[in-house]
Structure 1
Amino acid sequence: MSITAINVRNQFRGKVKEIIEGPVVSEIDVETPSGLVVTSVITTRSVKELGLKPGRDVVALVKSTEVSIATL
């Protein structure tokens, strides 16, 4: 399967840096070439079906209806 078009505009290419696998959900850290780390929580089943492993090239797709901003 290949993606030919998608409406998600926020896309980050990177490599899987770390996977913290749980019984139901897992955390996936994706590091971009600039060093930004994007973390996703997905089902552990999806981790296995996608064949995710550290070092694998992936695209993190971010689509949100809300972005919150806090001051420091």
Structure 2
Amino acid sequence: KGLLTDRMLAVGKWVKGFFYAVLLFCAIYWGFEGDFLDFWDAFLWLVAFIFIEMNIFQWHEETEEQALAEAELTSAS
């Protein structure tokens, strides 16, 4: 809890963005090459990753809100 610094999160975003872009490029390439199965597989992976990321962002926001609420309770006491 609270082990990830802002810098680590920023670096992680860039690394993930790079790999998502590579996978998207591969999916587009396979789509133009006519290899539908590889295109569809890469597309489904991208969609799954997007939903996982959305879930992680929501979880991160909830933990931040909980930490702020706990900090307010301890400062009010």
TM-score norm. by structure 1 comes to 0.20
Q: Is the strand fraction higher in 1 or 2?
A: 1
Identify which of structures 1 and 2 has the higher relative contact order when contacts are C-alpha pairs closer than 8 Å and 6+ apart: 1
TM-score norm. by structure 2 comes to 0.19
Q: Is the helix fraction higher in 1 or 2?
A: 2
